[in-house]
Amino acid sequence: MVALLTQQQAEALQGVEVVTDNFFNPIQDADDNWIISLEEVNQCSIEWVKQLPQIEYNPKQFTLPI
């Protein structure tokens, strides 16, 4: 499971610390949803982040350059 963000929420978390010296890293899943991990949700102290809905994680597939 991961936490679902809107694009605006993802942009708002850019450069914001989860804890001191560890920053949020919003990424997009295979369905282009913006998400953060539950570790980020649980470690931070931002109330609206803790209220985010959770969805199943569907990772993007990548191709390693051969």
Partner 1 sequence: MYGYGGKLVIQSGGSTIDSDAEAFLLAASITDATITTAVNDLVVGLKTNYLWNKMRALYPFVGGTATTHKFNLKDPRDLDAAYRLTFFGGITHSATGADPNGTTGYADTHIYPNYFGLSDIHLSFYSRENTHSGGDDFDIGTVTGAVNRFWLSSGLSNTNSPTSGLGSVLASSTGSTDGFFVGSLTGTALINNTNKLYKNGSLLATSVSSMSITNNASIALFRANGIDDGYSNRECAFASIGLGLSDADVTALNTLVQAFNTTLSRNV
Q: Binding residue for partner 1 (CB under 8 A) from 6, 7, 22, 54?
A: 22
User: Hey, which residues does 60 pair with through a beta bridge?
Assistant: none
Contact 3, 36 (CB under 8 A): yes
With binding defined as CB under 8 A, does residue 16 bind partner 1? no
Structure tokens at 4: 């679902």
Selected binder of partner 1 within 5, 24, 34, 52 (CB under 8 A): 24
Distance CA 34, CA 3 (A): 9
Does position 5 interact with partner 1 (CB under 8 A)? The reply is no
Binding site for partner 1 (CB under 8 A): 2, 18-27, 35-40, 43, 57, 59-62, 64-66
